Amino acid sequence: MAQRPTIKTIAKETGLSTATVSKALNASPQVRPRTRDKVLQAAKELGYELNISGVQLRTGKTYQIAMITVIASPDDDEWAGVGYTQLISGISRAIEHTPYRVVQHQVASFDDSFEVIKRIIQNKKADGIIISGTRANDPRISFMQEQDFPFVTYGTSDASAPHAFVDTDNRRIVTICVERLLSKGHRRIAMINAREELNYTQNRIEAYKAALSKAGQTCDPSLLAYGRLTPAFGREQLFEMSMFDEPPTAYICANEATAMGVLSGFQVRGMEHGRDAVVIATDDLNVSQYFSPPITTCYLPISKPSETLGKFMLDLIGGEDPINLQKLFVPDLIERGADTCNLERQ
Amino acid sequence: MAQRPTIKTIAKETGLSTATVSKALNASPQVRPRTRDKVLQAAKELGYELNISGVQLRTGKTYQIAMITVIASPDDDEWAGVGYTQLISGISRAIEHTPYRVVQHQVASFDDSFEVIKRIIQNKKADGIIISGTRANDPRISFMQEQDFPFVTYGTSDASAPHAFVDTDNRRIVTICVERLLSKGHRRIAMINAREELNYTQNRIEAYKAALSKAGQTCDPSLLAYGRLTPAFGREQLFEMSMFDEPPTAYICANEATAMGVLSGFQVRGMEHGRDAVVIATDDLNVSQYFSPPITTCYLPISKPSETLGKFMLDLIGGEDPINLQKLFVPDLIERGADTCNLERQ
DNA sequence: CATATAAAATTAAACGTTTATATTTTGAGT
DNA sequence: ACTCAAAATATAAACGTTTAATTTTATATG
């Protein structure tokens, strides 16, 4: 079987030197159009494909985009990481017609993610990094900034220097949800949040408080829960909060998994959605339309932010200023019920 | 800043040649223990890490494992691909302490997946390939076998030559489910399956028919549905089948997503689980415990097959015979209800 | 037309590694 | 102490690419 063609093969074929071939393939202005065409033609005929390890060795370019995913442990976290597939999928789609590939670096904890990032940068194992689960004050972000390494975050932070990010507009979501529930007469509104150290959790809390105080209401901190966004966590919280003297009449869940858990709690406790309380969620899978009953959800198709993530990464590698690579998406509110309930009950 | 250390650095440091250093690092018997230790010591002190592109250029080894994932389109397929994260996660875990990485190659269709596989092999872009969604007669499998390229499949096939695979024991699952339902008095048992061309679908059908005929029942083909395993598909099928003159009293769903759709259909149609019909599912996420109501499920934690996938891949690359790398996992039946219903109704 | 200059091509070296071949060292046997 | 084979190490080339330095070729200028 014929050896895989290299630039040498093309050089021999066209009678040019490998240097010229290389330049031609890289669209260098040093080579004149006529020879360029000749090279491209030959490359096509021979079925030439760039050998990335050659490039990598010479230039340090890896054509890899590292995606750091944090999954705590194999199974306890049944639903966790569900979104990563779609995320990677969207990124892959954005870089489809480039030589870049997404390489997933799976880690078990935040600290591990930092270690992996250090190794990737130190050993130049990727051309760019994408992380999620950003914290308000995220040491990984400052590190990557110091090292001047290209990165995009899925999620915001309060880093002093601007960086490329994509996120859902969490403040906006929460404002919409709270205002809707207030207008339906709810006064005890619980919010089930992700872990407190995540920046988006903080944003949600701020928006929650702001919306309440704008309506002249005060915030009862016992209605705010923080944890890993699993169905189990949602159910736990329902169990707990529904036993309060003045239980919530509405639950805002940070994702559909948690909402499912809350609904599951309803059923166990003999509660009924729309009578005893209501649940609304934010998410990007839109699976809540199949819940029993379906619930009102702030929905943002995950394909949007994820493709943007990929696009931003390419732009960044191409030298674009991070300040131009920041985007907040505003989800649609999909009403799937009146979201009222027997408020006089309490 | 100091350059990243290479074998040259170690050679200089130890006074040896790069050749010896290389051999020492690769545990060649040609180098005597004393010098080997010296090299290892120096490597550690310098913080040396293998530069893969160097190796790759010289030997062709890529240290990449290609995972081919098929996701038809961005959003229509809301829940689809949910399992890939866990799959990749498990594989990553299995290869954690090796230099190997998982690289995801996302494609839109079966045909594309074949194309990508060809490119990977032709251009030696990976050391091994993992695919899922295997068909009974899968051309990708025969191609990889012809090319003598290492691969493991998640899912079986009826390829004549043996190959490495990991799968759930689908025949067993279906047998268990059907027997259980029959024993509860069900006589009209529907089965919602994945697409017909997938080998596991065929296995499930065979087992279904066998279990029925063993009990002296005949199979009504109108109770068998084939399609993409989304909630939407489950709901559609419920809408259709529940209108039959003799509607099913039980639905066996190939995954939890579809089961959720069926339950959602129940709610829309005013049907009740356990009164009008029951649903049971197979899956690896175990999220069905949070359904309302929770349903009986054949559960296999996806971490098991996925870690095995990674392990098999390493073994294969290490030269193990594929015939020793075949494994079927048997899930646990988790009963979450009586799974009886008003059978006299029909 | 000769010459200066710009443009286009070539040469050669380098990136980090492995490995076939060559050379030196070691140590056992006399 | 000397020989000689075996063991250990060294040399050098190669993998495919890019790029600085250099040479050749084409173009413009007076």
Does B1 reside within a domain? no
Does B135 reside within a domain? yes
Query: Cα(A209)–Cα(A194) distance, rounded to whole angstroms?
Result: 17
Distances (CA, A) of B36 to A168, A210, A329, B20, B23: 54, 66, 56, 9, 9
Q: How many separate domains does chain B show?
A: 3
Please name the residue that has the structure tokens 């339906």.
A184
Same domain, A133 and A181: no
Range of the domain at A244: 170-301+332-345
Quote the mean pLDDT of chain B.
92
Residue B326 touches chain A, beta carbons under 8 Å: no
Q: What is the mean pLDDT of residues B183-187?
A: 95
Same domain, B133 and B282: no
Which residues have Cβ atoms closer than 7 angstroms to strand C? A 15-20, 23, 29-32, 34-35, 57-58; B 3-4, 6-8, 18-19, 22-23, 25-26, 50-51, 53-55, 57-59
The contacts of residue A152 (CB under 8 Å, 6+ apart) are A128, A129, A130, A163, A164, A165, A166, A309, A312, A313, A316, A325
Does A229 reside within a domain? yes
Same domain, B146 and B180: no
* Model pLDDT, residue A342: 78
Does A222 reside within a domain? yes
Q: Are the CB atoms for A324 and A166 separated by under 8 Å?
A: no
* Model pLDDT, residue A345: 47
Q: Are the CB atoms for A182 and A211 separated by under 8 Å?
A: yes
Backbone dihedral angles phi then psi of residue A135, each to the nearest 5 degrees: -95, 165
Burial of B136 (C-beta count, 10 Å sphere; 0-12/13-18/19+)? middle
* Model pLDDT, residue B1: 45
Does B55 reside within a domain? no
For B303, the closest chain A residue by CA position comes to A74
Question: Nearest nucleotide, C1' to the C-alpha of A58?
Answer: C15
Record the tokens describing residue A231, joined without a space. Answer: 């169905």
Domain with residue B22: its CATH number is 1.10.260.40
- DSSP bridge pairs for B128: B65
Please name the residue that has the structure tokens 């080894």.
B61
Question: Nearest nucleotide, C1' to the C-alpha of B11?
Answer: D10
DSSP readout, A62-118? --EEEEEEE--STTTSTTTTHHHHHHHHHHHHHTTTSS-EEEEEEESSHHHHHHHHH
Same domain, B25 and B117: no
Same domain, A179 and A246: yes
Q: Residue B87 — very low, low, confident or very high, per pLDDT cuts 50/70/90?
A: confident
Sheet-wide strand order for B128-132: A326-329, A164-168, A151-154, A128-132, A64-70, A101-107, B101-107, B64-70, B128-132, B151-154, B164-168, B326-329
Record the tokens describing residue A90, joined without a space. Answer: 């969207």
Is residue B248 scored above 80 in pLDDT?
yes
Residue B59 touches chain A, beta carbons under 8 Å: no
Same domain, A151 and A71: yes
Does A2 reside within a domain? no
Contacts of B261 in chain A (CB under 8 A): 290
Same domain, A132 and A231: no
Q: How does pLDDT run across A235-262, given as a tens digit for each residue?
A: 999 999 999 999 999 999 999 999 999 9
Higher pLDDT, A334 or B77: A334
Record the tokens describing residue A132, joined without a space. Answer: 């999620």
Q: How does pLDDT run across A168-210, given as a tens digit for each residue?
A: 999 999 999 999 999 999 999 999 999 999 999 999 999 999 9
Same domain, A255 and A267: yes
Is residue A103 scored above 80 in pLDDT?
yes
Contacts of A132 in chain B (CB under 8 A): none
Q: How many other β-carbons are positioned within 10 Å of the β-carbon of residue A246?
A: 11
Between CA B112 and C1' D3 the distance (Å) reads 68
* Model pLDDT, residue B89: 84
Cβ within 7 Å of strand D: which of A 55-94? 55, 57-59
Question: Nearest nucleotide, C1' to the C-alpha of B53?
Answer: C16
Does B42 reside within a domain? yes
Same domain, A311 and A296: no
Pairing, β A297-299 against β A332-334: antiparallel
* Model pLDDT, residue B346: 43
Nearest one of B192, B189, B216, B237 to B346, comparing CA atoms: B189
Sheet-wide strand order for B332-334: B224-226, B189-193, B250-253, B278-283, B297-299, B332-334
First to last CA, chain B: 80
Q: How does pLDDT run across B252-272, given as a tens digit for each residue?
A: 999 999 999 999 999 999 999
Preceding amide of B221 cis, omega within 30: no
Q: What is the mean pLDDT of residues A152-171?
A: 96
Q: Which of residues 259-318 of A touch B (CB under 8 A)?
A: 260-261, 263-264, 266-267, 285-287, 289-294, 301-303, 307
Q: Are the CB atoms for A235 and A223 separated by under 8 Å?
A: no
Q: Residue A80 — very low, low, confident or very high, per pLDDT cuts 50/70/90?
A: low
Domain with residue B288: its CATH number is 3.40.50.2300
* Model pLDDT, residue B282: 87
Same domain, B15 and B117: no
Same domain, B32 and B132: no
Is residue A298 scored above 90 in pLDDT?
yes
Helix A7-14 × helix A18-25 angle, to 10°: 110
Same domain, B281 and B323: no
* Model pLDDT, residue A346: 43
Residues in chain A: 346
Query: Cα(B20)–Cα(B43) distance, rounded to whole angstroms?
Result: 13
Distances (CA, A) of B67 to A89, B133, B151, B190: 13, 12, 10, 33
Does A13 reside within a domain? no
Lowest mean pLDDT among A230-244, B67-81, B238-252, B285-299: B67-81
Record the tokens describing residue A172, joined without a space. Answer: 């906006």
Q: How many other β-carbons are positioned within 10 Å of the β-carbon of residue A149?
A: 16
Is B291–A292 a contact, with Cβ atoms under 8 angstroms apart?
yes
Quote the mean pLDDT of chain A.
92
Amino acid symbol at B48: Y
